[in-house]
Each structure stands twice: as structure tokens, then as C-alpha cells.
């Protein structure tokens, strides 16, 4: 199978082919995901929750993400891998350039940043320096203390309009991918239609160009709490490989996420 590139993902959007992605943190799972045909993997700062046992993503450092990115790259040498830039690692453009370079050296194909129009200069500078960028709007886990918790974003008209404006501005700045987290499905559909770059949803409904889940959620490993937008694919399939393939198949077929996994 040919290696996925950003050109591949753009072509999939243009053709209406759903993009499937998942978080990965180690070599073994990266190898499994890649062999099953995952379109790309994200080394998420969610590792703070699911690997380190923290209550948020805030304790995660660049060194942590770099370590796990190297592990994922070793397991899937030809995969398209995005690495999260953790909390306060891109507070200024200059800092972002230095920290992103570290992640690219460890094997990332792209870095992901959370935030809106305040990132325009940073994104423009990263792209000019050869670092592809994935933007992230909606629920921003790194801003959980400002948001007052993990809440659906963009339900009010003004907030929805602001999210659309941010999405267009980030695309104009050079972002080549956008993750939309925990927003109403109607807003996600509108943004996916307006943008020419692929829009990847998590808790954003079925009309995004693709989907991403945290691997531990998708496998039902967080038994104490399962978000509304998550489905336990392992419970339905009986093996890790079968669960991954079922997840891919249902996203590609447009049957996941269903109405029960969607916010209005």
C-alpha cells in the first residue's frame, strides 16, 4: 500500500472518501494500525491521560511527545504521523519553531496546535519553514481550565460563527488539516463544506471528512468513563485487529459515528 501523504488526504476529501485516524503511542500498536490500513496516526498529548495517568493533558512535555513519536515511527516507518505540540510549547512563534523542529526530527510528518486566530503568525511561520500544520478547534483540552471543563463548543450562534471564522483564517494561514472536537454536527458539516482542507472530527458528527478516536477509548479500555462520541469496537469484534478493522470499515461506510455519538 502506498504511503499516505497530505496530497493523499486532500484527494480523499475531493473524492468524498472518508479518512480514518487514531491516536498511537508505541511501536506495537502503530504497526497494527498501519497494517490494518489506518490513513494516519496522531501522537496525541492525550498520552498524559491514557499513558501517564494524569487528569489532563497539561503535564505533557515536548520530550514526552518526542519519545512517543519516535516509538510510533519505529513501528510504522511509512505511515503519516502527526505529533501534538503540548501545552505552552508554542506560546510564541519562535518557541513553536524550536519545539516543532524537535518533533519533526523524531519522525513526525506534521504537528498539531490548538487554538484560533492568535496562531496565524505561528502557523504561517511554521509552514514557511517546512513544518506542515494541523489546526484544532472546538473543545481544546489544553484550555480546559479556561473553558471550565470538557464541554461541547459552538452551540450558541456567536460561538459557531466565531469557529467558522477561525477555521477559515487558519486555513488561509497555511494549516493543511483541521481537527474539530466536540461541536454540534451541523457546525462541523458547515465547516467541512467551507474548507478545502480535510476536516477530521472527534465528537463532531458523521459529515466531517474523517474521524479520529483515542485508541484506548475505541478499545473500551477507559471503563470508568466512555464519552458520548465513542464506541467500544473491541466489545463487538473480539480481537484487537478485528476491532481496528471494524472501526475503519464503519467510518469508511459512514455508519460511525451514528446519531447516538453526535451532539446537536
Whether 22 and 210 have beta carbons less than 8 Å apart is answered as no
The answer to whether residue 105 sits within a structural domain is: yes
- 39 in a known ligand binding site: no
The answer to whether residue 36 sits within a structural domain is: yes
pLDDT at 24: 98
- 102 in a known ligand binding site: no
Which parts of the chain have pLDDT scores under 50? Answer: none
The answer to whether residue 169 sits within a structural domain is: yes
Domain enclosing residue 257, as ranges: 6-261
State how far the Cα of 12 lies from the Cα of 222, in Å rounded to an integer. 31
State how far the Cα of 43 lies from the Cα of 60, in Å rounded to an integer. 12
- Which one, of 72, 86, 80, 110, lies nearest residue 19 by Cα? 80
Residues classed as catalytic: 181
The answer to whether residue 222 sits within a structural domain is: yes
State how far the Cα of 257 lies from the Cα of 264, in Å rounded to an integer. 13
pLDDT at 160: 97
- 55 in a known ligand binding site: no
**Which residue stretches of 119-253 are H helix?**
120-128, 144-147, 157-173, 185-194, 215-218, 233-237, 240-253
pLDDT tens digits, 205-241: 999 999 999 999 999 987 666 788 999 999 999 899 9
List the CATH number of the domain containing 220. Answer: 3.20.20.60
Q: Hey, how many other C-beta atoms are within 10 angstroms of the C-beta on 148?
A: 8
The answer to whether residue 1 sits within a structural domain is: no
State how far the Cα of 256 lies from the Cα of 248, in Å rounded to an integer. 9
- 31 in a known ligand binding site: no
- Which one, of 105, 103, 126, lies nearest residue 44 by Cα? 103
Question: Using CA atoms in the order 245, 204, 127, 165, what is the torsion angle rounded to 10 degrees?
Answer: 160
pLDDT at 224: 67
pLDDT at 223: 61
Report the number of distinct structural domains present in the chain: 1
The answer to whether residue 78 sits within a structural domain is: yes
The residue assigned the cell 473480539 is 238
C-alpha cell at 262: 453526535
- 17 in a known ligand binding site: no
pLDDT tens digits, 189-203: 999 999 999 999 999
Amino acid at each position: 500500500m502506498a504511503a499516505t501523504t497530505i496530497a493523499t488526504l486532500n484527494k480523499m476529501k475531493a473524492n468524498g472518501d472518508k479518512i480514518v485516524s487514531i491516536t498511537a503511542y508505541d511501536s506495537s500498536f502503530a504497526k497494527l494500525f498501519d497494517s490494518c490500513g489506518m490513513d494516519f496516526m496522531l501522537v496525541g498529548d492525550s498520552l498524559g491521560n491514557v499513558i501517564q495517568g494524569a487528569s489532563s493533558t497539561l503535564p505533557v512535555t515536548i520530550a514526552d511527545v518526542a519519545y512517543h513519536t519516535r516509538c510510533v515511527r519505529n513501528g510504522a516507518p511509512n505511515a503519516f504521523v502527526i505529533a501534538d505540540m503540548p501545552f505552552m510549547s508554542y506560546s510564541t512563534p519562535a518557541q513553536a519553531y524550536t519545539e516543532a523542529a524537535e518533533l519533526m526530527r523524531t519522525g513526525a510528518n506534521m504537528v498539531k496546535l490548538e487554538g484560533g486566530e492568535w496562531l496565524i503568525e505561528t502557523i504561517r511561520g511554521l509552514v514557511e519553514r517546512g513544518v506542515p500544520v494541523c489546526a484544532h478547534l472546538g473543545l481544546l483540552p489544553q484550555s480546559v481550565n479556561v473553558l471550565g471543563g470538557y464541554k461541547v463548543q459552538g452551540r450558541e450562534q456567536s460561538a459557531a460563527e466565531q469557529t467558522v471564522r477561525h477555521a477559515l483564517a487558519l486555513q488561509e494561514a497555511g494549516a493543511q488539516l483541521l481537527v474539530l472536537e466536540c461541536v454540534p454536527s451541523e457546525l462541523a458539516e458547515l465547516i467541512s463544506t467551507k474548507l478545502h482542507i480535510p476536516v477530521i472530527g472527534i465528537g463532531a458528527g458523521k459529515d466531517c471528512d474523517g474521524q479520529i478516536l483515542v485508541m484506548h477509548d475505541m478499545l473500551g479500555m477507559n471503563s470508568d468513563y466512555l464519552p458520548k462520541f465513542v464506541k467500544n469496537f473491541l466489545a463487538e469484534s473480539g480481537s484487537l485487529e478485528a476491532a481496528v478493522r471494524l472501526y475503519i470499515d464503519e467510518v469508511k461506510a459512514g455508519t460511525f459515528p451514528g446519531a447516538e455519538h453526535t451532539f446537536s
